[in-house]
Amino acid sequence: MRKINRNNLIKRTAQILRNNEGASMVLVSVLAIIVLTAVVVLRVATTTFMASTNRQLNQDQAYELAASLGESINLLIEEDKFLIYDVTLDEYVTDSDTGVTTYYKTVYNQNGFEGLPDASVVAIVTETGDGSGRILEVTADVGSAEYIYTREYRQ
């Protein structure tokens, strides 16, 4: 078996490229295109990954806001510090498709938090469909993500 000397191989390749200047330009151009394509593909992949990560982060933050406020209000209700049945439902919205009017009361509304300037959270109390209970609904929006926490209370 014949042993190949690396130095000879490199020298021979360099000699071929020196002798064929047009061919070496084509080779360099092809290598440059491959490198540029790899850079563009990596950039697109990184941008897509970061956008997906930001979307997931917004969803997680919306969940945390809604769930923590909902559980805090629920704790106040259980300790009789917030009497949900004594809340006067003096606000209403009418569904334009069905004509059904829903009465509610906004009990908490805040926009912007430290570190989350584009976030908002709203807590409302409504009556159940049969009128025998109340529903606490907390809606949190962070960026383009929304999470709704709902809890029903019966007398």
pTM of the model: 0.66
| Averaged pLDDT, groups of 10, the chain, 155 residues long | 66 71 74 92 89 87 94 93 88 87 89 84 90 92 93 90
pLDDT of residue 38: 93
pLDDT of residue 120: 92
Question: Other C-beta atoms within 10 Å of 121: how many?
Answer: 23
Contacts of residue 106, defined as CB under 8 A and 6 or more positions apart, other chains included, come to 91, 122, 123, 124
Contact 148, 136 (CB under 8 A): no
